[in-house]
Amino acid sequence: MADCIFCKIIAGEIPASKVYEDDQVLAFLDISQVTPGHTLVVPKQHFRNLLEMDADSTSQLFSRVPDIARKVMKVTKAKGMNILNNNEEIAGQTVFHTHVHLAPRYEETDGLQISFETHEPDFTALAELAEKIAQA
């Protein structure tokens, strides 16, 4: 896609700090560096996001993630790793080319905050929703 920044990085038109590359996937350091070692793993083929991808392309992308994540953790000496994927603007996607964030974690105050608000479960509503999703 001509106006996609990640496609331009893949094509070599924009420089990137690459950490992994093969025929299907490219991984490079995110320029924002939310935490040191923050890496993006992207398919070389353009897809808007994970929701557009087919099973084979998704498999190609995610089969590389664990090894790249382990290498990032080893080099950065991180204590943990958040592996994130945002789909569409409402979910925080800002570049519309599928990408997986590998965010090394060092301590609770390392600059990355992720939280989920919890509620008392409504088991009837959960069962109804699960049934609808399963039947879709």
Residue 99 annotated in active site = yes
* Rounded Cα–Cα distance for residues 49 and 59 (Å): 14
* Rounded Cα–Cα distance for residues 85 and 94 (Å): 11
Quickly count: other Cβ atoms within 10 Å of residue 49's Cβ: 17
* Rounded Cα–Cα distance for residues 16 and 29 (Å): 7
Choosing from 38, 97, 99, 101, the catalytic residue is: 99
Q: Which residues are catalytic?
A: 99
